[in-house]
Structure 1
Amino acid sequence: MSNPDYPTGPSQGAQNYDPNSYQQGQPGYGQSQPAYGQPQPGYQYGYAAQQPVNPEKNGFGLASLILAIVGLVFGIIPFTGFICLILGIVGLALGFAGLSRVRKNKATHKKTAISGIVVSVLAIALGIWGITIVFGAVDDLDSGLDCISNADTAAQMEACSE
């Protein structure tokens, strides 16, 4: 069954089409905008230009802050002051690198870089303090053991503990 309102073949639908009846690009009969494929006034072909997006980032500053915090954790553990010192020094270098990138507008989050620098300085100080305590304790232990080994009487051994 066929419907007489719709064309049934390829030639029947194109019988009344006149390609010259419309002028492309000219508003006229049946057109209120420029023809398909033509840019509208004020626009160009393709997508609109997007604004450059500077995602918020500062990898060096964040790495500095993380290393400094880990260094502080090692700083409170006995005999690991050297690890605290090393992490603090590396964190300080990364913090200054992150701050430098912020000043060159290659990174954001200046506060992260500054926080990394401050906490790195604290980690360095804690590391130096921890190393000093450990070496001081080892030196006291060495001098105490020398005194005890050289003592002949109980009174001399007692004097070593004072």
Structure 2
Amino acid sequence: MDVPSGYSPSTTDRDLLHFRRATSDIHAGGSRAIKEESIVSANSGTEKHVHGHQADHRPKRNGFGVAALVLGILAALTFWTVFGGIVCGVLAVVFGALGFRRKRRGEATNGATAVVGAVIGLIGLLVSSILLAAGLTFLNSDEVKSYSECVEHAGGKSDREQCAKDFDRDVRE
């Protein structure tokens, strides 16, 4: 077992490893109090207790927060594409929410990263959605429909050029 820095092993019990670290706190009025942390670890699976409370020493799981930040940045940088803005934005918001929930439960340490990733992802998602809606509205407009019909019935290059001029005039009006 690795010995944390600042701890010294106790020789009182061979089955259990006791590590004690004395730390001092200066309280109001200048009095000093010595606090002691004990970590008890053994093959029998005893738990760590710090100042009379059970401490949770599972490794922190920060993956959702990091994923939210990376996907949020991707969504913001590629908002002009459906995949980049919408898919990455939705995933960033979902992973950001999951990462923030882990932080609130004490399972992660990067709650702010998760929130920032979710916000950036939401911005990318919104901008991409607005662009998609504007593009679909434009493609379903009467001007585009009449241009498509004109090009279909055009006999040659000059007719197609006239369709383009008519389309340009219709769009500008």
Q: Is TM (by shorter chain) over 0.5?
A: yes
2:18 to 39, 48, 56: 48
Q: Does 1:69 align with 2:73?
A: yes
- Counting matched residue pairs gives 116
Residue number in structure 1 paired with 2:115:
114
Of structures 1 and 2, the one scoring higher in RCO (CA 8 A, sep 6+) is 1
Residue number in structure 1 paired with 2:105:
104
TM-score, with structure 1 as normaliser: 0.56
In structure 2, runs of 5+ residues without a counterpart are: 1-9, 20-38, 40-47, 49-55
Percentage of identical aligned residues: 21
Q: CA deviation at 1:134?
A: 2.5
Q: CA deviation at 1:148?
A: 3.8
Aligned pairs (5 A) from 1:1-162: 43-45=12-14, 47-49=17-19, 50=39, 53=57, 57-76=61-80, 80-140=81-141, 142-146=144-148, 148=150, 160=167, 161-162=169-170
What is the Cα-based RMSD across aligned positions, in Å?
A: 3.1
**In proportion to residue count, which structure has more strand?**
2
Matches of 2:134 and 2:120, distance apart in 1: 21
Matches of 1:47 and 1:55, distance apart in 2: 21
TM-score, with structure 2 as normaliser: 0.53
**Counterpart code for 2:139:** V
Deviations 1:68-95 (A, max 9, x none): 111122214xxx2344111111111111
For residue 48 of structure 1, give the secondary structure of its aligned residue in structure 2. Answer: strand
